Structures are given as structure tokens and as C-alpha cells.
Chain A
Amino acid sequence: MLEKQAVPRPVEAEGHSAHPSPQALREMHLFLRLAREWDLRFERLVRLGAVSKWYSAVGNEAITVAAATAIAAGDALVSLHRDSGAILRYYVDASRLFPDQFPPLPGRRAPPTEPRELLYRLACQMLGKADGFSGGRERSYHYSFFHEEAGIIHVGMISHLGAMIPVAAGVALALKQAGGGRVALNFIGEGGTSTGDFHEGLNMAAVYKAPLVLIIQNNGYAFSTPSSEQYASRTLAERGPAYGVPGVRVDGTDALAVLRCASEAVARARAGKGPTLIEAVVGRMRGHSEGDDSFLVLSEDERRRSLEADPVLRFERTLLESGAVTHPYLDQVAKRCAELVLATVDRALASRDPDPSSLPGRVHAG
């Protein structure tokens, strides 16, 4: 009789960290709060009619900010539409943004960029303005930004979910071929894991041992479709071992736990051991997009629980309990972030629109 083969199980990550320094914790908090204020501002602009559509990242910040904390200038980011936290973390050096409060963090390679200018361009991009990264040709996060001297290699999304996973694998492959231990970080939702490109991209990254960290943000719903109708496996992390890569499942509301998983995955990739699949599980604090009623697909109880599990507030409570920060400190950071976002977005709102005479533009580079 054949012995039943044990199916490799994903690692259940535990909710404690590898003890980042108090300064590193405060920096991570800054970006959690900045990302939150960013999305709150654009949510409000939808209601005011200043942007046509917004896919809120409220609730995803612990995953995106912590994951991008695990990479550095020179690594690559391939993002989707709820990854503002990763983009802000990746683009902005806290010590340049608020030098009075955040001295340069020892050992962290941050991009030598002027953060306020980048944030302004990012806000313009969200609004389709001429000064946005795509000059109004492309919506919100559908842009790319390469500033290689500063170590920024950022490839944005197309609307077809999953399509960017093979591209991210190719970016990772090119980084591997270049040597130097750089990695690519890529996000997908649990709905996007049902695409053929998820399979092809992850499989090829595994075969080529490409330095790719692929993070599934599993918030339980793809637009209105619950995960029970999306996949039948117990977890998504368990797909990792099926591809010959580690699969890790982590509480996506716990920034420190995500940081620990992502850091391990990044270290593994830098060491030439190939990709890691991380499934970060979060509640859904918003609907699919602002203005649709898909948040109401969740039961009242589930909505309440998701909102109570707010990852930004959770991290702030952790910081308070550890004594790393005080209430007035948190209030002050929140105020600074809100003021910065407000001023940046206001400047972008007042900036020039793209000129239709710039069309058709060049479809070819050569």
C-alpha cells in the first residue's frame, strides 16, 4: 500500500517581530500614517467629484508599508492599485521629508530624492494632471517610474490582474543577471491568484530562482466575490510549496509580522535562493472602489470586525504599549502627515491639465 504523502504546509508566521529599533518603528509608523492620510484624502476627493474613481488602500497599509520597509533603494517594486503604502515607503526618505524628527536610519538605503516633489508628481498622477508621471495619459497607479540613479525601479500595473506577475519575475531575473543581490517586490490580490499569469509567473520565477517576493493581499473579496468562490484550497500560501517555493501566511494587520516575513523573503532572494510567496490576510475596511456598494457584501458583523482590526491603529497601540511613543507624538505625526497630504494634493489640484495637442504622442520609442 502506498504511503500517503504529506502535503507541505505553509508556515504560519507568528505575530512578533525581530525587534526593529525604536527609530525604525517610528519611521514605519510615519509611513503607515502617511499612507492612511493619502487614501483618506483621495476618498474625500471622490465624494467631492474631483477624481472619478478610487480603489482605497485603507486597511492594507500594514502589508504594503512593512513589505516595502524590507526592500531598499536599488530593489524594484511592481505594484497594483492598493499599494500606496509601498510606493510612499519606497520613494520617500523620512529623513529628507521631516529631518527635524527623523534622522537618517542607520543601515537603510533610502532613495536620494526630493520627497515633496515626488509626492507632488504622485498626486498629479492620481489626478491625471500634466505633471503626473504619465502626463495624464494613464490613470492613478497605472504608471511606471524609473529613477535608477536614485535606486527607484517602479513598474505600475495594467488593469488585467495577474499580468504583472510574469513581468515582475522578468524584472527579478534581470536583477539577478545583473548581480548585486537586488530583489523585486510584487503584490497581487487573492482574486488575481486565479489567473493563468499567477501560475506562469510564479512557476517561472521558481524555475529561474528569480529574486521575487510575491505578496498576496487576501482581503477575502474580489469586488463582490468571496474567497470561498475564488479558490478551494485551505490557504493561498500552501500553493508556494507546490511551486517549490516557501509559502508563508501572515496576519496582514500586523505590520511587525509582515515586516518579519518580508525581510526573511528578501534575505532569501538576495542570497540567490529564489522567490517566496507570502499570503497576508486582512479584513476589508472598504468596498472594491469608492462609490460602489460592494462593502455591503460583507455582513454587518464582518464589517465591524474589519474596521476594528484597523492595522494603523493596531500599530499605534503596539507602539504606545511598548513605550516607544506617546499620545501627543502620534497626534503630531498624524497632523503633519495630514497637512503634508492636503498641501501636496491641493497643489496638484491647482496644477495644469495635460494639453490635448500633445496627442497622439509617440507610440514607439524608436
Chain B
Amino acid sequence: MPVKAPSDQVTYLEAISRALRDAMREDPSVFLLGQDVAAYGGAFKVTAGMLEDFGPERVMNTPISESGAIGVAVGAALLGRRPVVEMQFADFISCGFNQIVNVAAKMFWRTGRPVPLVIRCPAGGGAGAGAFHSQCVEAWFLHTPGLKVVAPAFPRDAYWLLRAAIRDPDPVLYFEHKQLYRRVKAPASAVFDAGGGSDGRDGHGAGGGGAAGPPPRIGQAATLREGEHVTVISYGWTAHHALEAAEKVAAEGISVEVLDLRTLAPLDEEAVLRAARKTGRVLIAHEACLSGGFGGELAARIAEKAFEHLDAPVRRLAYPDIPVPYHRALEAACLPSAEKIAQVVRELRGW
């Protein structure tokens, strides 16, 4: 069973789990596929109890066949079903690559037939899990037209973006950082409230202003914190580091704007440019490798469309271009952190 947060607190993992349940209750065409998702409840217990609640036709184990599972899901989606496929770890999505980038992603453009498919990808490092259970592989898919890619950082976004992904007529890759599963939580009322209230971002107000407004949609970035001097653009676990860094440097008199992309494709380009223009000093931080990472695309767009507003070179903080090392000390040296972000922010402020 999922680890219960105390009182009415909902963890990031519970928000994902609840989104699956609510979607399945609401829409009989939704069903789950994945390795060990049925009786065992998934490697991280996201689907715990769902076999009992929804039966074996809607909660289906797959063989160890990522390509097969995603291909089967594409076929079912073509006939109007709404499969949600769990990759046991995001790393294993490489075994289903062709089904995603050539079959699913191109289907609508080629044939006009929608593929309402969600692939959930437990991603990211920080657990000493080595090169094949730790990667952030979203950039592999951002180079492929036809896909949508989301990477929520907070329980409220996790819940509503998964609901939106399941309702979406396109293939959506849903990256959920494993470090957020049980570590990040928010009041249930804030997470599930469809109308307003506080945003449930672990104590940080939406747009820095408190009220959450309507639930997030795919393609909408969120301003986590307003600032004047430096903008940090991020997503996923790294967005939490960015907030922590902003808090750190605030004591030094540096005011940081923090933008959480939430969706990487389609990109909320307006929000990115607005945040860049606002301070003229931009750091893009992500856990994925530097070269070919999404930061490069963001930096290019800012350079093309907001150059005249820049007071400093656009900086990137990312994973070094090496596989994820095993030993905790080695891994920690590679991961983005609040301190690393704060350091680049100070440098940018000094321009």
C-alpha cells in the first residue's frame, strides 16, 4: 500500500495514484498496463489495490516487453481505449523507443487517427541506483514532433496533469521524479480542489500569490516565486532545488524569479520569454545531461526572441555528460542542488 502522509497531507505519489483511480472511475476506457502493476501494485506501489478495485481487464501486468507493451497500448488507443503504461523505471523506455517516436508520435500527423496514450516514467537519480535506474531521459523525446511531455514537481500538478494527460488525445510522456514520491506533500484540499484555494505547492503559493486558480493544463508553466534580479527556469525535482536556492540567496539580497515549466512539450514559450525578459539574467537548471538537454533549446529561444532584454549570458546547470555513477558521493557530485544553483545565481547577479 502507498505510504500514507499524516493527517490530510497528500504525497506526490498518492496524487498520481489518486489521479489514476479517479480517471478509471470516470472513464471505463482507461486501463493500466505495466510490469508488476497488477497484484504487486507496481515497483513503487502507485497502482496498489487497483487490481482489486478495477479487475484484471483494466489492470494488466505485461511481460518484460517495453516495446510490446507500448505497441499494444498504441493499438488499443487507436480503437479508442485510453491505456496508461507504467515504465518500471524511465530508463527502460529505451526498449520501447521505436513504438514511441515512430509509431505513436507520428500517427496523428500521418493518418489523422489520435493515439490517446499515457506513458508514466519514474525518473531521476539521488537514490544510489546507478546508470540504469536513475536517468532523466526526457530530451530523447523532445526532439520528436507529435509527443507531449510533462514533468510535474508538486502533488497538485501531478494530479491534474495526469488527469489531463489521460484525457488528452495525444501520446503523453509523464515524467515523475522518484525523489518527489514520498518527500513532497500538500493538503488534500489544495491538491484536489478543482476551483481555487491554495495551490498545494509544499508551502509555496502559486505564482507566489497564494490562490491556485483553475487546475493546471498541459502546456502551462507556473511561476513559483516572483523575483527581480535573476530568473531560474526548471522542472521536476530541480524546481525544488531552485526554490531552496532562491530562499538561500534572498538572505543575501538577491531576488530570484523561479519558473516551473511543468510541461516541456508543448512548451509555454510565452512564460519562458516573459520570465527571461523580466530579469535579463537567466539560469536554466535540469537534472538531465547538459549536451542536447532541454536547457539548450530554452537558451536558444531566449537568445532568438529576448536577446535585447538580456544583461548576461544565459547559463545552464545540468548533469555532466557522463552516465549516472553508483556511489552516493559520486552521484551527489553530479546532481543539481540548491547550493549549485545559488552559486550560479550569484554569478549572474554579478554581471
A196 to B96 CA separation, bound complex (whole angstroms): 11
A160 to B110 CA separation, bound complex (whole angstroms): 15
A167 touches B81 (CB 8 A): no
Contact status of A167 and B71, CB under 8 A, knowing A155-B78, A175-B79, A203-B65: yes
B111 touches A144 (CB 8 A): yes
A166 touches B110 (CB 8 A): no
Contact of A158 among B63, B106, B115 (CB under 8 A): B106
Size band of the B side of the interface? 35 or more
Say how far A49's CB is from chain B's closest CB, in angstroms.
25
Say how far B142's CB is from chain A's closest CB, in angstroms.
13
B residues 41-77 near A (Cβ < 8 Å) are 57, 60, 62-63, 65, 67-77
Contact status of A170 and B98, CB under 8 A, knowing A142-B110, A177-B57: no
B67 touches A174 (CB 8 A): no
A165 to B74 CA separation, bound complex (whole angstroms): 11
A365 touches B114 (CB 8 A): yes
A173 to B67 CA separation, bound complex (whole angstroms): 16
Contact of A173 among B76, B80, B266 (CB under 8 A): B76
Say how far A228's CB is from chain B's closest CB, in angstroms.
27
A173 touches B63 (CB 8 A): no
A19 at the interface (CB under 8 A from B): no
Say how far A118's CB is from chain B's closest CB, in angstroms.
16
Contact status of A138 and B111, CB under 8 A, knowing A155-B75, A364-B266: yes
A366 touches B71 (CB 8 A): no
Q: Which of A158, A197, A366 has the most CB of B within 10 A?
A: A366
Contact of A163 among B69, B71, B80, B148 (CB under 8 A): B71
Contact status of A160 and B98, CB under 8 A, knowing A197-B67, A197-B68, A207-B63: yes
Contact status of A366 and B109, CB under 8 A, knowing A163-B103, A204-B68: no
Contact of B76 among A142, A171, A364 (CB under 8 A): A171
A283 to B83 CA separation, bound complex (whole angstroms): 41
Contact status of A174 and B76, CB under 8 A, knowing A363-B145, A365-B108: yes
A residues 94-137 near B (Cβ < 8 Å) are 133-134, 137
A155 to B73 CA separation, bound complex (whole angstroms): 14
The chain B residue sitting closest to A202, CB to CB, is B68
Residues of A within 8 A of B266 (CB): 364
B65 touches A170 (CB 8 A): no
A residues 160-203 near B (Cβ < 8 Å) are 160, 163-175, 177-178, 196-197, 200-201, 203
Contact status of A166 and B68, CB under 8 A, knowing A134-B111, A364-B266: yes
Contact status of A170 and B170, CB under 8 A, knowing A138-B111, A158-B103: no
Contact of A166 among B70, B79, B112, B114 (CB under 8 A): B70
B102 at the interface (CB under 8 A from A): yes
B109 touches A167 (CB 8 A): no
Residues of A within 8 A of B112 (CB): 134, 144
The chain B residue sitting closest to A78, CB to CB, is B75
A262 at the interface (CB under 8 A from B): no
Since A171-B79, A173-B72, A174-B79 are in contact, a sample of 20 more A-B pairs with Cβ atoms closer than 8 Å, ordered by chain A residue number, is: A133-B111, A146-B78, A163-B102, A166-B67, A166-B70, A168-B75, A170-B76, A170-B78, A173-B76, A174-B80, A177-B31, A177-B76, A197-B98, A201-B71, A203-B65, A362-B108, A363-B108, A364-B146, A364-B169, A366-B114
* Interface residues, chain B, with chain A CB atoms under 8 Å away: 31, 57, 60, 62-63, 65, 67-81, 83, 98-99, 102-103, 106-115, 145-146, 148, 168-170, 266
What are the 9 A-B residue pairs with the smallest beta carbon separation, nearest first?
A170-B75, A166-B71, A200-B68, A170-B72, A365-B114, A365-B169, A174-B79, A144-B111, A200-B65
* Interface residues, chain A, with chain B CB atoms under 8 Å away: 76, 78, 133-134, 137-138, 142-144, 146, 153, 155-156, 158, 160, 163-175, 177-178, 196-197, 200-201, 203-204, 207-208, 361-366
A-B contact pairs, 7 of them (CB 8 A): A134-B112, A144-B107, A146-B113, A173-B75, A200-B63, A201-B72, A364-B148
